[in-house]
């Protein structure tokens, strides 16, 4: 198996899910006592969040790139960034580390195409929803168009992520509002919804909408296991 590097801690809630899924899926495929060969850099999220809020993409690229380079020196052969938003600096991480970065939007776009979607809704941080980190990849690589919620709903989703989900808080009232937002995306023409923050699948599941929901954490882990075993 290839050794996978993980840039995690953004937040630790979803990084725990990455670790669990990667090891579980390798064990299921390989059998016996097999588990995933992983090297993890787990950030102090407070510092990352401060740079993110200030939109210091240069500093974020340098910070994540240096951590990835350290993992490469330790033996990692490929990299996953265990968060959607930080794929905004994926190219810089790949450049600095010299390693392939397995892109979460490509894993998700492939799944949306397999499901027969041509237009998908997108939930995530405001950076994920309002930049091309997803929309550009989905359009260029998969011919998918992307819908995002209106501004009040985007603000709610963003605040829920940073105020609750990354802190391990999963409130029923927040889940209910997410359901309403997804219903509005469906009314606007979405054929499925991308849960484009790695904490959202900890709150929302398949029973929360009448259309396909794309769990980016699970899809990213599937891509990573395929890569490790290839």
Q: Tens digits of per-residue pLDDT, 167-192?
A: 999 999 999 999 999 999 999 999 99
Distance, in Å, from the CA atom of 124 to the CA atom of 176, rounded to the nearest integer, reads 16
Q: What are phi and psi of 144, to 5 degrees?
A: -95, 140
The boundaries of every CATH 3.40.50.1860 domain in the chain are 4-102, 105-216
Known catalytic residue at 117 = no
- 4-102: which CATH architecture? 3-Layer(aba) Sandwich (3.40)
Instruction: Give the 3-state secondary structure of residue 81.
Output: strand
Measured distance CA(112)–CA(97) in Å, rounded: 30
Q: What is the pLDDT of residue 77?
A: 98
Fold that domain 105-216 belongs to in CATH: Rossmann fold (3.40.50)
Question: Mean per-residue pLDDT for 50-76?
Answer: 97
The Cα 213–Cα 122 span in angstroms is 10
Q: What is the rounded average pLDDT for all residues in the chain?
A: 97
Sign of the torsion formed by the C-alpha atoms of 177, 174, 153 and 144 = negative
pLDDT tens digits along 129-147: 999 999 999 999 999 999 9
Annotation marks residue 83 as catalytic: yes
The pLDDT of residue 137: 96
Q: Are 122 and 181 in contact (CB under 8 A)?
A: no
pLDDT (tens digit per residue) in 203-221: 999 999 999 999 999 999 9
Residue 95, pLDDT score: 98
Which of the residues 83, 85, 108, 198 is marked catalytic? 83
Residues across the chain: 230
Are 154 and 128 in contact, with CB atoms under 8 Å apart? Answer: no
Q: Which of 85, 125, 174, 197 is catalytic?
A: 197
Instruction: Classify each residue of 45-78 as buried b or exposed e, where b means 16 or more C-beta atoms within 10 Å of its C-beta.
Output: beebeebbeeeebebbbbbbbebbbebbeeebbb
HSE of 214 in the Cβ direction (CA atoms, 13 Å)? 31
> Can you name the residues that pair with 101 across neighbouring β-strands?
79
């Amino acid at each position: 198996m290839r050794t996978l590097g993980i840039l995690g801690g953004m937040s630790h809630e979803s990084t725990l899910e990455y670790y669990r899924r990667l090891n579980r899926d390798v064990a299921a495929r390989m059998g016996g006592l097999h588990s995933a060969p992983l090297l993890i850099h787990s950030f102090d999220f407070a510092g990352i969040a401060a740079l993110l809020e200030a939109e210091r993409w240069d500093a974020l690229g340098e910070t994540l790139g240096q951590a990835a380079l350290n993992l490469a020196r330790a033996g990692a052969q490929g990299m996953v960034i265990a968060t959607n938003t930080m794929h905004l600096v994926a190219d810089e991480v790949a450049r600095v580390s010299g390693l392939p970065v397995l892109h979460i939007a490509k894993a998700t776009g492939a799944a949306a195409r397999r499901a027969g979607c041509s237009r998908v809704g997108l939930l995530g941080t405001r950076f994920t929803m309002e930049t091309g980190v997803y929309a550009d990849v989905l359009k260029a690589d998969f011919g998918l168009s992307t819908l995002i919620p209106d501004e009040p709903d985007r603000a709610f989703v963003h605040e829920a992520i940073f105020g609750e989900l990354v802190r391990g808080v999963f409130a029923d009232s927040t889940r209910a509002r997410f359901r309403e937002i997804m219903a509005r995306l469906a009314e606007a023409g979405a054929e499925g919804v991308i849960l484009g923050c790695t904490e959202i699948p900890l709150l929302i599941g398949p029973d929360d909408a009448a259309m396909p929901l794309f769990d980016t954490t699970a899809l990213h882990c599937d891509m990573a296991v395929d890569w490790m075993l290839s």
